[in-house]
Amino acid sequence: MAAMGWPGQYNLDFMFLLLLSALWAAWGHRFSSAGLLLGVLAIFGGSLFLTAYLLGVIGQARGDMKEVLLGKTRAAAIGPG
């Protein structure tokens, strides 16, 4: 990664994707113990975990993207729109 050739850039980008997905999963569960566990699983599970997690969240929200991105309570606080 330090040489910043294309393999290093790919690895750096993928690492940031994993960290961002871990933060989002933990934030969505308000950094509870379950949320922190999901964050760790997001880092080590990679794209396979993120795909399964997103499918589960989309299914629970019945396709409401505001609820998918923000969570049920935050989306309800914003209101319809």
Dihedral in degrees, nearest 10, Cα atoms 76, 70, 68, 29: -110
Domain boundaries, the chain: 6-78
Round to whole Å and give the CA distance between 75 and 14: 29
State yes or no: pLDDT of 4 exceeds 80. no
CA distance 21 to 36: 12
Convert the pLDDT of each residue in 58-74 to its tens digit.
Answer: 999 998 888 888 888 88
Computed over every residue of the chain, the mean pLDDT equals: 89
pTM across the whole model:
0.80
- Rounded mean pLDDT, 6-35: 92
Backbone phi, then psi, for 17, in 5-degree steps?
-60, -45
pLDDT > 80? residue 48:
yes
